[in-house]
Amino acid sequence: MILILTPNTQPDSPIYHQLIGYLDKLPNIQYRVHQEQGVEQLLTEVYLIGSTAALSLDYMTSLPGVERAVRVSEEYRVLGRHHASDPRPSHFDYNGVRFGQDNLNVFAGLCAVDNPAHVEQMLKALRDNGQVCTRMGAYKPRTNPYAFQGHGKTCLPYVFELAGKYGIKVIAMEITHESHMEEILEALHQTGDATGVMLQIGTRNTQNFELLKIVGRQQRFPVLLKRGFGITLDESLNAAEYLASEGNRKVVFGLRGMKTNMGDPHRNMVDFAHVPVVKRLTRMPVCIDPSHSVGTRAAGPDGITDISQVVAQGVIAGANMVLVDFHPDPATALVDGPQALTLPELPYFLEDVAIAREAYEKRVALRQKYADI
Ligand code: PEP
Ligand code: MN
């Protein structure tokens, strides 16, 4: 059961103390308090764990400071959507950018940072096209131990400074070890917090539970958790719940294709049919990564790349974030050049995304018009 407290209930207020005093006396019930300071108000949720079946919702709602009591199933307790009217939010704000199940952000950028000139060209193109988010890989998990592993912390100062220069608010950046989080924090601090970072946990680390717990214990950075490419959706959603159960619920869930030869000649089997499924089962915004799904810049006879086709499929189904590889000169990219789109393609790509988003919004309106069928 979750108790949702009246907004702005302060932890030092008499009402709060009265409520906690009551909860302390409940037999066989433990509780965990989660507070979230939003832009306008402090939201507090109290998670009750144990023998909650005997507690009546009406009675719990009548307790001091409680606005609502909700019974939740065991699955995805924090991030789950437990029934259609689950009153908990399905969005969060970070560094001035909203991430929600009701909007869309594009994160176009470099798969891997290679040099300052390419970073600057990429960021300038984004600024010129009205974008405030990007992807920049500094720590690259590679199949081959002899392959380029990313520039790591040495590139962070210029990446963050340039991001600040071009008005970029959020950079999605994969980390593969907790020390990377410290390095990012330090570099951000050195650049006077020129930008923001969304920590990305890649598909190879989806079930690295110790990393999930550590990243979940901080609330400074939101997290993009990629679906594991060889495990069930349920297992990946539980991985997201690890982050939230440790305290960080600013989590975006990323679909990036599944490993099977059935998807050939694409790099992975595109799984964007799961966009509405994740939105139904949880309150997380859903990201699609067409680059790592498709793995090639190839286009059909109509000239539209397979990458743009699957973006349209995901966006028209309600995706909330698109993470996509671009590069100023894909032939020289150190990682994933064959799937990178080029900078002159950026305005076209964004316009194409906007068409799919508009179609999605029209489809939602149409569904509402026929709400009674
Ligand atoms: C990436 O986004 O650079 C990446 C490595 O993704 P994934 O973990 O989905 O393979
Ligand atoms: Mn890549």
Pocket of ligand 1 contains residue 150 by CB under 6 Å:
no
C-alpha 205 to ligand 1 mean position (Å): 10
How far does CA 59 lie from the centroid of its chain?
36
Written as six digits, the tokens of 60 are 């719990």
Pocket of ligand 1 contains residue 203 by CB under 6 Å:
yes
pLDDT for 73 equals 76
Half-sphere exposure of 170 (CA within 13 A, CB side): 24
Do 214 and 248 contact (CB within 8 A), yes or no? no
pLDDT for 82 equals 84
pLDDT for 215 equals 98
Confidence of residue 39 (pLDDT cuts 50, 70, 90): confident
3-state secondary structure of 56: coil
3-state secondary structure of 330: helix
pLDDT for 170-213, tens place per residue?
999 999 999 999 999 999 999 999 999 999 999 999 999 999 99
Pocket of ligand 1 contains residue 174 by CB under 6 Å:
yes
Give the amino acid at 364. Answer: V
Mean pLDDT computed over every residue of the chain: 96
Please identify, by atom number, the ligand 1 atom nearest to the C-alpha of residue 335. 3
Give the amino acid at 265. Answer: P
Reduced to 3 DSSP states, what percent helix, strand and coil does the chain have, rounded to the nearest 5?
A: 40, 20, 40
Reply yes or no: is the peptide bond before residue 89 cis, omega within 30 of 0. no
Pocket of ligand 1 contains residue 295 by CB under 6 Å:
no
Q: What is the mean pLDDT of residues 316-342?
A: 98
Pocket of ligand 1 contains residue 202 by CB under 6 Å:
yes
Q: Of the residues 114, 198, 200, which should be mutated to test ligand 1's pocket, given the most ligand atoms within 8 Å of the CB?
A: 200
pLDDT for 87 equals 83
pLDDT for 65 equals 96
pLDDT for 38 equals 79
pLDDT value at 40 more than 90: no
- For ligand 2, a single-atom ion, the residues with CB < 5 A are 111, 336
Q: Which ligand approaches the C-alpha of residue 289 most closely?
A: 1
Per DSSP, what are the bridge partners of residue 108? 324
Pocket of ligand 1 contains residue 111 by CB under 6 Å:
yes
pLDDT for 262 equals 96
Residues 6+ apart with CB under 8 A from 4: 43, 44, 45, 66, 67, 68, 69, 70, 87, 88
C-alpha 291 to ligand 2 mean position (Å): 7
pLDDT for 118-167, tens place per residue?
999 999 999 999 999 999 999 999 999 999 999 999 999 999 999 999 99
26: left (phi over 0), alpha (psi -120 to 50) or beta: beta
Q: What global pTM score does this model have?
A: 0.95
pLDDT for 85 equals 76
Q: What is the mean pLDDT of residues 317-324?
A: 98
Pocket of ligand 1 contains residue 271 by CB under 6 Å:
no
C-alpha 236 to ligand 1 mean position (Å): 15
Q: Of the residues 253, 287, 289, which should be mutated to test ligand 1's pocket, given the most ligand atoms within 8 Å of the CB?
A: 289
Please identify, by atom number, the ligand 1 atom nearest to the C-alpha of residue 226. 9
C-alpha 227 to ligand 1 mean position (Å): 10
Written as six digits, the tokens of 72 are 């939740």
pLDDT value at 74 more than 80: no
